[in-house]
Chain A
């Protein structure tokens, strides 16, 4: 699995397309709700963490349980960790769950790339 992280709109999907051969039909976008652990490319993994918060589950546990299904995928997550601690409890829980998910995925990943203004930096 290759993990691509960075802030919103930093060019993660374009990078995955150019670098890992991802095409639009291979992509599952978690911001539309739900997840497909079998998708070759899972984008907005951080939004699955929000879905789980709303449903009372832990996203990193779900990923851990389905490891065989996504272990060859390309996974993209927005880094949502750098703002002020949100006042809204749901946003606060999301921020923490997203952090735990990205940490778990980074640990499992063959490579981790961070995008900054569309410039990639391989950090693992």
Chain B
């Protein structure tokens, strides 16, 4: 089973994604795909908080900031995978630390996400709904927003359930609530 979750920041997406992943795993391996590349102390604190929040859930962490399919080489694809988040994965693939932008990244990430969803027994994907603010962004930011929307739409198409989380409350746009 595959599940796609999106919604605004701090609305409870990660909590629900962990809960759903745990429920889907039924004793089989449960993996957390860590996508964040820490850049400063704020990021380190965020990662420490996320690690604390996952304690006791039984997740094995797979560090995979880029090349999503590579984490299938060192795991059991019969397990359940939680990818949190698509937003960070695309950002890592699209923007290099040297400040270069890879415009082919969204299409590549779409292909990898789609293949990953097909190969993993269970997968839960978390993205961020960054499309409804009143701002005129620069061209690079717009390319990123458009790229993430492409990833979101591809996952919404291939996943069994598509869930919007708002204020901790889930709404199913496709499939069933879990």
**Interface of A toward B, CB cutoff 8 Å:** 6-11, 78-84, 86, 91-92, 94-95, 98, 116-119, 121
A residues near B4, Cβ cutoff 8 Å = 117
A78 shortest CB reach to chain B, Å: 8
The answer to whether A9 touches B174, judged by C-beta atoms less than 8 angstroms apart, is no
Known contacts A10-B149, A117-B153, A118-B153: A82-B162 contact under CB 8 Å: no
Roughly how many angstroms separate A19 CA and B136 CA in the complex, as a whole number?
29
A residues near B155, Cβ cutoff 8 Å = 117
The answer to whether B8 touches A117, judged by C-beta atoms less than 8 angstroms apart, is no
The answer to whether A119 touches B174, judged by C-beta atoms less than 8 angstroms apart, is yes
Q: Which residue of B lies closest to A121 (CB)?
A: B173
What are some 25 contacts across the A-B interface (CB < 8 A)? A7-B129, A8-B132, A8-B145, A9-B131, A9-B146, A10-B149, A10-B153, A78-B131, A79-B132, A80-B133, A80-B134, A80-B135, A82-B8, A86-B135, A91-B135, A92-B134, A95-B134, A117-B4, A117-B156, A118-B152, A118-B153, A118-B156, A119-B156, A119-B162, A119-B174
Roughly how many angstroms separate A94 CA and B130 CA in the complex, as a whole number?
18
Q: Chain B, interface size: which category?
A: 20 to 34
**Interface of B toward A, CB cutoff 8 Å:** 4, 6, 8, 129-136, 145-146, 149-150, 152-153, 155-157, 162, 164, 173-174
Roughly how many angstroms separate A86 CA and B150 CA in the complex, as a whole number?
26
A residues near B149, Cβ cutoff 8 Å = 7-10, 117
From A11, A82, A83, A117, name the one whose CB has the most chain B CB atoms within 10 angstroms: A117
Roughly how many angstroms separate A117 CA and B132 CA in the complex, as a whole number?
12
Q: Which residue of B lies closest to A99 (CB)?
A: B134
B residues near A6, Cβ cutoff 8 Å = 131
Known contacts A9-B146, A10-B149, A11-B153: A117-B134 contact under CB 8 Å: no
Known contacts A9-B149, A10-B149, A11-B153: A116-B164 contact under CB 8 Å: yes
Q: Which residue of A lies closest to B151 (CB)?
A: A117
Roughly how many angstroms separate A88 CA and B67 CA in the complex, as a whole number?
38
B126 shortest CB reach to chain A, Å: 13
A residues near B162, Cβ cutoff 8 Å = 116-117, 119
7 new A-B contacts at CB < 8 Å, known A7-B131, A80-B134: A9-B131, A9-B150, A10-B131, A10-B149, A82-B133, A91-B135, A117-B4
The answer to whether A119 touches B173, judged by C-beta atoms less than 8 angstroms apart, is yes
From A6, A8, A91, A95, name the one whose CB has the most chain B CB atoms within 10 angstroms: A8
Q: Which residue of A lies closest to B7 (CB)?
A: A116
Known contacts A7-B129, A117-B153: A81-B164 contact under CB 8 Å: no
Q: Which residue of A lies closest to B6 (CB)?
A: A117
